[in-house]
């Protein structure tokens, strides 16, 4: 189970100002800049759900110019990838905040997820991001990180694989909007059906994955299942980063250690 000392929660408003600004004040008090590496996943940006973009933009506004950000898959929703990608990306506050982050000289890395697997060129050209396939292996402040989105290590049904194909993406983009909205609603209902059982099954698969690679990393990061989890598995730490659909969550690693923050 999650260690309450490792998951920091806040009921203050605004959420990000109270937590990330605390880190900035610490930096200033010490008289030098501490580079923080941030990790998030499953933001699911799309133009017709602006609350997600507003929440994410507030978070981005608190990051320093020396910080780095790694997004562990599904930055944009499938709806954006199939129906909205031709729009001006700066109409989305979240994407505009990411572009500004890169323009300030910051490093942005995006891992392909199941919703945005075909957006690598868009991310590279419009945001200036580095796009990577999983697994992503890196070292952050002495901690060995192993990051995957998670959809490729779980068991997927045939129809899930079809939804992730380029063929379905292109076909969905051609549907009349009312038909696309109807299909979107049905897919959302299908994803919510038996959600608790499927989430439990995915978590078990993630734990097995950690155990198979446990000698090679200190922290294993996952996304995909939209559930924030922080637990110890032997000497390693497994963190499922959660999503940004209804609340925010992120991992920050700096010289003080790793803090997993979940909005309450």
Whichever domain contains 241, its CATH number is: 3.60.21.10
Residue 71's closest CA among 55, 93, 56?
A: 56
Pairing of strands 236-241, 219-222: parallel
The residue behind tokens 């910080």 is: 67
Q: Hey, how many other C-beta atoms are within 10 angstroms of the C-beta on 57?
A: 20
| Residue 161 resides in a domain | no
| Residue 182 resides in a domain | no
Length of the chain as a residue count: 264
Residue 103's closest CA among 143, 71, 60, 72?
A: 60
Q: What's the pLDDT score for residue 168?
A: 92
| Residue 36 resides in a domain | yes
Chain segment 116-146, per-residue pLDDT in tens: 999 999 999 999 999 999 999 999 999 999 9
CA angle 15, 222, 148 (to 5 degrees): 130
Q: What's the pLDDT score for residue 52?
A: 97
Q: Cis peptide before 29, with omega less than 30 degrees from 0?
A: no
| Residue 170 resides in a domain | no
| Residue 178 resides in a domain | no
| Residue 188 resides in a domain | no
pTM for the model: 0.88
Q: Is 199 helix (H, G, I), strand (E, B) or coil?
A: helix
The total number of structural domains in the chain stands at 1
Q: Is 125 helix (H, G, I), strand (E, B) or coil?
A: helix
| Residue 166 resides in a domain | no
Those residues of the chain that have pLDDT short of 70 are 1-33
| Residue 180 resides in a domain | no
Containing structural domain, residue 237: 7-154+194-262
């Amino acid at each position: 189970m999650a260690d309450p000392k490792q998951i920091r929660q806040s009921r203050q408003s605004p959420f990000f100002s109270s937590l990330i600004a605390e880190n900035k004040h610490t930096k200033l008090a010490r008289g030098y800049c501490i580079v923080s590496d941030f990790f998030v996943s499953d933001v699911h940006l799309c133009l017709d759900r602006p609350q997600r973009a507003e929440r994410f933009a507030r978070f981005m506004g608190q990051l320093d110019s020396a910080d780095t950000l790694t997004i562990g898959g599904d930055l944009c929703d499938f709806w954006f990838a199939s129906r909205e990608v031709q729009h001006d990306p700066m109409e989305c506050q979240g994407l505009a905040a990411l572009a500004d982050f890169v323009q300030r000289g910051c490093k942005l890395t995006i891992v392909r997820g199941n919703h945005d697997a075909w957006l690598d060129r868009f991310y590279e050209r419009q945001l200036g991001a580095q796009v990577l396939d999983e697994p992503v292996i890196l070292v952050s402040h002495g901690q060995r990180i192993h990051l995957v989105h998670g959809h490729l290590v779980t068991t997927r049904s045939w129809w899930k694989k079809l939804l992730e194909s380029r063929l379905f993406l292109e076909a969905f983009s051609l549907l009349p909007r009312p038909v696309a909205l109807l299909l979107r609603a049905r897919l959302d209902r299908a994803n919510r059906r038996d959600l608790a059982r499927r989430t439990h099954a995915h978590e078990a698969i993630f734990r097995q994955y950690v155990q198979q690679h446990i000698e090679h990393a200190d922290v294993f990061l996952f996304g995909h299942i939209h559930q924030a989890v922080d637990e110890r598995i032997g000497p390693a730490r497994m963190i499922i980063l959660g999503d940004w659909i209804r609340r925010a969550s992120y991992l920050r690693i700096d010289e003080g250690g790793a803090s997993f923050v979940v909005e309450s």
